[in-house]
A and B are shown apart, each in its own frame.
Chain A
Amino acid sequence: MILLDEEARLVIRSEGERAYPNECCGFLIGRFGEAGARVVTEARPVRNSREKEERYHRFVIEAEEFMRAEAYARKMGLELLGFYHSHPDHPAEPSGYDEENALPFYSYVIVAVEGGAAKNLTSWELSADRAGFVNEPIGAIPAAFWNANIINIDKEDI
């Protein structure tokens, strides 16, 4: 189960639309909640480092950016929980290429962008044996979470 903050969804959708016809990508940051649910309090865009002419169907987040995002999460008292990317004019289902490049543990959120408009939002987790992606239900963050967790919502640039 992944619980996505409303603003985080907005960021993923608008980034997907802004990048169209190319793919956008970014980090999902938050903490583990009840029953191991991933509670994403921030979607943090990062540049797609693929060559310009490849960005319509590929994205890459460089290792250096990954380290920076982990350091940022740590500093905020949060964790890196996963990644998002967009599928321009393609369903919000993981491709074989997504699967080859995925790691277990993390959530992979995909937003379909059709003709420039963000549509379906899905989330996936790679099985530990790399057999395939498993769909992960997306929910909203309950008010009780915010009452029980003090999170600095002043997002910082690092």
Chain B
Amino acid sequence: MPVIIQIPTALRQFADGQPEISAEGSTAGDVIAAFAERYPDIKRHLYDEYGALRSFINVFLGENNIKNLEGPATPVKDGDVLILVPAIAGGTGKSA
């Protein structure tokens, strides 16, 4: 079941410059994993060293952040569109 993934500008360089691709899977997490398998250079930007999606990577299924649905286990169907959107975080990290 192909699902469309919209790739953020910053990560297109790791996916042959494409703004979107299609990948297979029955959950949002599976589809993104299939995408990352195809473009291994993108993996380190999507996943942390423990293999979890990085906290700043948000996945929208249409209008809804999958955090507010079932997370990576959110079911997807043929023709759905997943949008990868970064949140931007940082700071000095100093303690009070």
Complex CA distance for A105 and B12, rounded to whole angstroms: 10
Task: Verify B89–A61 contact, CB threshold 8 A.
Answer: yes
Closest to A49 in B: B87
- Bitwise interface map of B from 57 to 95 toward A, beta carbon under 8 Å scored 1, else 0: 010100001000000000000000000011111111111
Q: What secondary structure prevails in chain B residues at the interface with A?
A: mixed
With an 8 A cutoff between CB atoms, is B96 at the interface?
yes
Contact A90 B88 (CB under 8 A): no
Chain A, Cβ-Cβ closest to B59: A63
| Chain A 1-47 residues near chain B, CB threshold 8 A | 23, 25
A21 to B88, CA, bound (A): 20
Assembly CA distance A58 to B60 (angstroms): 24
A96 x B87 contact (CB < 8 A) = no
> B85 contacts A103, CB within 8 Å?
no
Q: Is the CB of B90 within 8 A of A97?
A: yes
Which chain B residues lie closer than 8 Å to A57 at the CB level? 91-96
Pairwise interchain contact A87-B65, C-beta atoms closer than 8 A: no
- Contact partner of B93 (CB less than 8 A), chosen from A25, A50, A96, A102, is A96
Q: Is the CB of A61 within 8 A of B87?
A: yes
List chain B residues, Cβ under 8 A from A83. 88
A residues 102-117 near B (Cβ < 8 Å) are: 102-106, 108
A145 interface residue per 8 A CB criterion: no
Inter-chain contacts of B14 with A (CB < 8 A): 128
A120 contacts partner chain B, Cβ-Cβ < 8 Å: no
Most buried by A among B11, B45, B55, B96: B45
Q: Tell me which residues from 44 to 58 in chain B have a Cβ below 8 Å from any Cβ of chain A.
A: 44-45, 54-56, 58
B18 on the A face (CB < 8 A): no
Within the assembled complex, what's the spacing in Å between the Cα atoms of A25 and B87? Answer: 12
A contact residues vs B (CB 8 Å cutoff):
23, 25, 50, 56-63, 66-67, 70, 79-80, 83, 85, 87-90, 94-98, 101-106, 108, 128-130
- 17 pairs of residues in contact across A and B, judged by CB atoms under 8 Å: A56-B96, A57-B93, A57-B95, A58-B93, A63-B87, A66-B87, A70-B9, A83-B88, A87-B91, A95-B94, A98-B93, A101-B90, A103-B8, A104-B13, A104-B45, A105-B13, A128-B13
Q: A57-B92, A66-B87 are in contact. List 6 more A-B contacts (CB 8 A).
A: A61-B88, A62-B87, A63-B86, A102-B90, A103-B45, A103-B88
